[in-house]
Amino acid sequence: MNVRSTHLRTSVFGKQICLVLLLLSLYGSISAQQKSAVVQELHVSAGPLTSALGLLRQQSGANIMYDANLLKHLTVKAQDFRGQSVEDVLRQLLKGSGFSFSSTEGVFIIKKEKVTAPVTGTITDEETGARLPGVSVLVKGNTQGSITNAEGAFTLQADPHGDTLLFSSLGYKPGRLVLNGQQQVTIRLKSDASVLNSVVVVGYGQTTKGDLTGAVSHVSSENFNTGVFSSPEQLLQGKVPGLNITRSGDPNATPAVILRGPSTFREGEAQQPFYVIDGVPGANIQLVSPADILSMDVLKDAASTAIYGARAANGVIMITTRRAKQGQSWISYNAYAASERISNKIDMLSANELRQYLKDNNKSLTPAYEDNANTDWQKEVTRNGVSQSHNLSFGGGNEKTLFDGSINYLQNNGIIKTSSLERLNVRANLEQRAFNDVLKINLSISNSLSTQNRAPEQVYLNMLNYIPTVNIFNPDGTYKEDLSRSRGYLNPVSLIDNNSDRTKEKIMLGNARAELKLLPGLRYTMSLSLQDQQINRDIYNNRASSLSPNTNGQATRSAFTNSRKVLESYFNYDKTFGKHDLRLLAGYSWQEDRTGDGFQTSQQGFVSDVTAGNNLNLGGAKDGYLPNYGTTRIQTLRFISFYGRVNYLYEDKYLLQVSVRRDGSSAFGINNRWGTFPAVSGAWKISKEKFMDNIRWIEELKLRAGYGVTGNSLGFDPLIARFRNDIFGKFYSDGRIISSIGPVQNDNPNLKWERTGMANIGIDLTLWKGRLSVTADYYDKRTTDLIYSYEVPSPPYFVPNMLANVGAMSNKGIELQVNVVPVKTANFTWSTSANIAHNKNRVVSLSNDMFSVKYIETADLGGKGQSGNKSQLIQAGYALGAFYLWQYEGKDKEGNSTFRSANGGITKEPSSTDRYYSGDAQPAIIYGWNNSFTFHQFDASIFIRGVSGNKILNATLANLNNPAEATGYDMPRITLGEAVTDAKAPYISTRYLENGSYLRLDNVTIGYTIPVPGKYVRKLRVYATGNNLALITKYKGIDPEINMGGLTPGIDNNNFYPKTRSFLLGLNATF
């Protein structure tokens, strides 16, 4: 950016900050003045109260209002006041009179004190008579309130003669009751189908389900998954049609989240949805504890996501946390304790079975590998993981001030020994209203402190193939292993015991938000947020480590800080006139990311393991050792946006939404730093038409359609389009190794956004007062200008490849969500929800006039005799993750593997040209089905999910099934049918390409809400949950739920942390 644009950006940002500070200081100044009125000296003579009040008003200048007729018979005694506040003087004058006062913006209002008494009641469903827990009960005009308990009962203080009680609950129409002497009441609330899915959070605001014009899935906390979860994404697994979430059993693993199919050739964050937490875009999802989340809204089509422009191509997930409400004070404690164990093991041969197999084939173990042992290495490195979670939250407030906060502690010990996650999350929020709600200020802070311990990745393969005939230790106590062996053959227990990898991470997010009502219907909002992330990683391979042999210990330490500053400034205007409803949004956004601020270094040659890698200066590496400094470079990325949206509703039937966002980023080429992302959508509420008046069983029938364009700038290196130098090589001179600097990346001034255009057509149907609801969507998504590294001539270019916008990819699909309440009585309710989605992914093109490639080979899995043979390819006409394999044709007479050649013949020596397209990893269907039951105080839920139509390459089994090397490795049971001479048995071929379909009983929960007669405990529930209880699949590996992220999805390749089966006991208590 040039100097002028930088100055302009800084100037605008500075003015915005000054405006917020001005508002805050103005509020503070006026508030201070209101509270600073002091009576210097006042003498009150015995006589009428009204005379004393008039004298106080004259002396202090205070604005005191009262009804003189009510006070004319009241008197006061003689009193003197010096240096006291107006509030203190009024309290003394009114003491014992039966009157009190309130203060609003400096005006003191004297009114008769209410005589309150306990008012109790029960709230039920008007249709079924079922008692309703969790209903909010408020006394109109003050902050008195309560919430019904599990029996639908409440108690609060109110004036039985004249107070009005207000009742509200999700899924029911609001109720009210004017007390006329009653102190015990019964309220029946009427179900409201339109409220069942009412509030939906969208970009820069919220709307109702009925007014949506795009594809949005709303999931409330009542429908979240239950289990040992360390990441909020897991709450949605199987709950949202079109959202595919996969995760291993590693407590430190990040789930792969793919919405409506992959749409980029980049990996990591570039494939994930964009997250917005409580209105803060790009907030780190680790800051949110699952127990603190109230709801999650998944924005799926471009008409819904385009307001976030260049970050919305993969969808947007809006997370809303629990916040305080007026008149509702609470303290909640939620906890669970869980036990996890490995859900499935690969069936390897025992030591005796291996010995017998070798004997049957006239082979024998190498003497060094025969200890007459029978070691189960999978058992030795795994354990039952014990986990616990504790969440304490609180909230409360009045009409002016609201506050809430929470503390969450999670400890998740993985099933692989030494792997674990420990995390402490703390958050606090404060909301203050002023000037008759003209100004609303919200301050929030969130902190996350975590410690992650990882087991070496080499453990996963070695716990399978390490030979079982040897002991763990030699007689002298050292670990039994042969470091001269190839293929990374290492004692798995030694890997666990002698290596540590610990990461400590601190994340802080502070946000200040101010909302100012300028005119009727016109609001201005400004939000400032700062996110800071500190990552410290310590890796130590001790003196006995097989990962760093002959080094006397090796330590690597790193410390990095990343920061993100975000400013959001926007106006909202809402206007209703006649049959028209208009909502306008216009805003500006500024963001600056600073990453990589830190260091990394390493050291060897430690005298002792006592200090591990904590003191690198105690090491003494050999001459010539070069420390590992990593990629330590500070990078800055800036982002500027202008956006707007128009929502128009006519006669509550016809809806139109138009939005546009213009984004600029410093990451892209100087010729293409700006992009424009428009969207338009509409809806027709057919059920509101007159010809539908007599069809009363249809509550809602709505058609939706939209088209929009979004971009993908997530996960970008800020220097992606720049010419860059780096460590280019090394040379030896005068007894020293010297590093040289040279070009490693070409400049591309034309590099630009990846753009995704998406059309969406949908229908929403609700029948029989919400007992049945259906949502269906069809979408057509096409992504162009895909970024990939293409070959270029060198010279004239500095290096022989360059990042360029060339490719295109398509995703087309159908989504269906059905919610049904088959049974609903006073004592029993059964509700069921099912979703299913089909997506067809295809690469459309890889070339243009400047850059050309026929296909891109990926997934080099290695293996003996297979060097350079990759197992997947990216090619036009095929899905991402297309398998390109040798065609297995069975065994010949000698029992050796044979394969189909390119000319259609049979060969035992396949070449790289003999590979065939063999299917792909993309699932044709993903689905989920949940059933929930309530019976009196009992509740239960059963959740099933699965996928169908995908392939998995079981490269782990291929690697293990190597009978020619059975004298030195353990073998899977499949090897018993193999000829010991078959050296081609482990070749990656269609033999190991398996059906990846599965159906999983993912969750069963049974709960009981304990009746609590005490007024201090509102709810007390205990529950038991089992996760991953059963699995139906033809897949022979550990688990078919293989990571679908990256460019090589669907490959089980020796590095899969086993999935777990968990059982937990939990408690929910609200006070």
Does 418 have pLDDT greater than 50? yes
pLDDT for 347: 93
Nearest one of 389, 183, 177, 212 to 297, comparing CA atoms: 212
Among residues 225, 390, 185, 30, the alpha carbon closest in space to that of 945 is found at 225
Considering 442-451, 666-675, 1038-1047, the range whose residues carry the highest mean pLDDT is 442-451
**What is residue 112's predicted lDDT score, i.e. its pLDDT?**
76
Average pLDDT, the chain: 88
Report pLDDT digits (tens) over 780-835: 999 999 998 888 888 887 888 888 889 999 999 999 999 999 998 888 999 999 99
Please report which confidence band the pLDDT of residue 30 belongs to, taking 50, 70 and 90 as the band edges. Answer: very low
Q: 752 versus 340: which is more confidently predicted?
A: 340
Domain with CATH 3.55.50.30 in the chain: 3-112
Share of the chain above pLDDT 90, in %: 58
CATH code assigned to 3-112: 3.55.50.30
User: In the predicted model, is pLDDT for residue 470 greater than 50?
Assistant: yes
In the chain, ranges of CATH 2.60.40.1120 domains = 117-191
Q: What string of DSSP letters covers 58-102? A: HHH--EEE--HHHHTT-EE--EEEEEEEHHHHHHHHHTTTTEEEE
Enter the DSSP assignment of 523: E
* Amino acid at residue number 414: G
The token duo for 281 is 């875009």
CA atoms in the 13 A half-sphere facing the CB of 497: 14
Q: Which of 739, 734, 787 is nearest to 629 (CA)?
A: 739
Residues 6+ apart with CB under 8 A from 903: none
Residues 6+ apart with CB under 8 A from 1064: 227, 228, 336, 337, 338, 339, 387, 1024, 1025, 1027
Backbone angles phi, psi at 347, to 5 degrees: -80, 95
Band of residue 261 on the pLDDT scale cut at 50, 70, 90: very high
**pLDDT per residue over 221-235, tens digit each?**
888 998 888 889 999
Among residues 643, 656, 576, the alpha carbon closest in space to that of 211 is found at: 656
Q: What is the mean pLDDT of residues 285-311?
A: 93
Residue in the structure block whose two tokens are 């591309």? 748
Please tell me the distance from the alpha carbon of residue 35 to that of residue 57, in angstroms, as a whole number.
15
Q: What is the band of 679 on the pLDDT scale with cuts at 50, 70, 90?
A: very high
Separation CA 75–CA 80 (nearest Å): 15
Give residue 943's pLDDT. Answer: 96
- The CATH class, in words, for 117-191 is mainly beta
pLDDT class of 589 with cuts at 50, 70, 90: very high
Which has the closest alpha carbon to 663: 280, 270, 308, 283? 308
Residue 141: is its pLDDT beyond 80? no
Query: Helix, strand or coil for residue 1043?
Result: coil
Question: Is the pLDDT score of 396 beyond 80?
Answer: yes
pLDDT at 794: 81
**What is the pTM assigned to this prediction?**
0.85
pLDDT given at position 28: 45
Q: What is the pLDDT of residues 501-542, one digit of tens each?
A: 999 999 999 999 999 999 999 999 999 999 999 999 999 999
Residue 1030 in this model has a pLDDT that exceeds 90: yes
For CA atoms 488, 490, 493, 499, give the dihedral sign. negative
pLDDT of residue 285: 93
How many Å from the N-terminal Cα to the C-terminal Cα in the chain? Answer: 55
Both structure tokens of 466: 């390490």
Token pair for residue 367?
């003497």
Largest interatomic CA distance in the chain:
122
Report the C-alpha gap between 50 and 56 in whole angstroms.
10
User: CB-based burial of residue 581 (10 Å sphere; 0-12 exposed, 13-18 middle, 19+ buried)?
Assistant: middle
Q: pLDDT tens across 978-1019, in order?
A: 899 999 999 999 999 999 999 999 999 999 999 886 667 888
- Bridging pattern class, strands 674-685 and 698-712: antiparallel
For residue 578, give every residue at least 6 positions away whose Cβ sits within 8 Å of its Cβ, in sequence order, or none: none
Percent with pLDDT over 70 in the chain: 93
What pLDDT score was predicted for residue 865? 61
| Sequence-separated contacts (24+) of 605-613 with Cβ below 8 Å | 605/551, 605/552, 605/553, 606/543, 606/552, 606/553, 606/555, 607/552, 609/542, 609/543, 609/553, 612/500, 612/538, 612/540, 612/542, 612/555, 613/538, 613/539, 613/540, 613/553, 613/555, 613/556, 613/557
Q: Is 216 exposed, middle or buried (0-12, 13-18, 19+ CB in 10 A)?
A: buried
